[in-house]
Amino acid sequence: MVLGDEDPISDVKHEFGAQHTAEKLRVVAEYLPLYTTALKNQPFKLHYVDAFAGAGICNIKDGETRVEIEGSASIAMRCEPPFHKMVFIEKERKHIDRLRAMLDTAGRRNYELKQGDANEHLPDVMRQLGRDRAIVFIDPYGMQLAWSTLEAVARSKVADVWYLFPLSAFYRQAARDASGIDEDKKRALTRMMGTDEWEKDLYAPKRQAGLFDDAPGYEREAGPLQMLEWVTRRLEKIFPYVAEPKVLYAHLSSGAQGAPLFALYFMISNDKHNAIALAKKFAQHSLKRA
């Protein structure tokens, strides 16, 4: 759904991403109606929670041009059957205003907008769900998501989670040569991963370059995909089920595949066998179709 020219804030744009953005959104668009259809007659309510909601519309780069596509919030708004309630968390005031205008234009009243840091708001949202169920979509800006926030989602036991992990930010900040990681970067990496074990797990002493090199330092031997395996093992410590992530790569102008940019994870906080089996089936279908 795109607002018309008469909308006073229709020029509010959220310019980011490229073809990988469209890829992740296609997966989510496939999954949401499968979820609400399967659970529409259950005694609990269904919630959609978008932790970094944006403006509802994305202007992505497609080759040399920019293309406007629906964002995750807009996709959730038009999901049929609809969610009983939608919660959108976003820092930017202009994006909140755009979302409100889109929701009101669509006649939606079953929503809540929260302006601010997802790390502050999301744990509260999860606690308030009680015995209801939720799809939680987490697409952070860079490394803004704290591990403690993921733990709060996992503890809820009622959420299916789509998490776009910032793989390129992870391996850029965790530089190949450990001497390139200052204290600020160390704190950011530890906050995102919930542990400082990445230092000992991903790094090893350098081989001495020469006879008089007494302090060779440390270097990262793991490549991006090996680092992603480490991330998966971390996530498996707090979620009962973690699917193999879909790696999203840069698309080069030549048509070739570029560097890995993100990893789209699907995770389930509910530890019941039937819940895992159903959600896993829908996720596999969505990843295959998108």
pLDDT digits 0-9 by tens, 195-230: 999 999 999 998 765 555 555 689 998 999 999 999
What is the C-alpha R_g of the chain?
20
Among 50, 280, 238, 279, smallest CA distance to 150 is for 238
- Residue 10: per-residue pLDDT: 47
Q: pTM to 2 decimals?
A: 0.89
Length of the chain: 290
Dihedrals φ, ψ of 134, to 5°?
-150, 145
- What are the start-end ranges of the H helices in 66-208? 72-77, 93-105, 118-128, 147-156, 167-173, 183-193, 198-202
**Which two structure tokens, joined as six digits, stand for 167?**
């793989």
How many beta carbons lie within 10 A of that of residue 215, not counting itself? 7
As a whole number, mean pLDDT of residues 56-66 equals 73
The label of the residue with tokens 């403690």 reads 148
**Is the pLDDT confidence value at 146 over 50?**
yes
How many beta carbons lie within 10 A of that of residue 99, not counting itself? 27
Asked if 175 and 204 count as a contact pair (C-beta separation under 8 A), the reply is no
**Is the pLDDT confidence value at 16 over 60?**
no
Lowest-confidence pick of 11-20, 30-39, 48-57: 11-20
Q: Residue 63 burial by CB count (10 A; 0-12/13-18/19+): exposed, middle or buried?
A: exposed
pLDDT band at 69 (very low <50, low <70, confident <90, very high): confident
pLDDT tens sequence across 81-124: 999 999 999 999 999 999 999 999 988 889 999 999 999 999 99
Could you give the CA distance from residue 92 to residue 55 in angstroms, rounded to a whole number? 9
Among 164, 167, 132, smallest CA distance to 261 is for 167
Q: Of all residues in the chain, what percent are helix, strand and coil, respectively (each to 5)?
A: 40, 25, 35
Could you give the CA distance from residue 53 to residue 89 in angstroms, rounded to a whole number? 6
**Is the pLDDT confidence value at 281 over 90?**
yes
As a whole number, mean pLDDT of residues 134-148 equals 96
**Is the pLDDT confidence value at 24 over 80?**
yes
Which stretches of the chain are assigned E, i.e. beta strand?
Answer: 14-15, 46-50, 57-62, 65-70, 85-90, 111-115, 133-138, 159-165, 203-205, 218-220, 241-242, 246-251, 257-268
pLDDT band at 4 (very low <50, low <70, confident <90, very high): very low
**Cα–chain center distance at 258:** 21
Helix (H, G, I), strand (E, B) or coil at 242: strand
Among 52, 90, 96, smallest CA distance to 72 is for 52
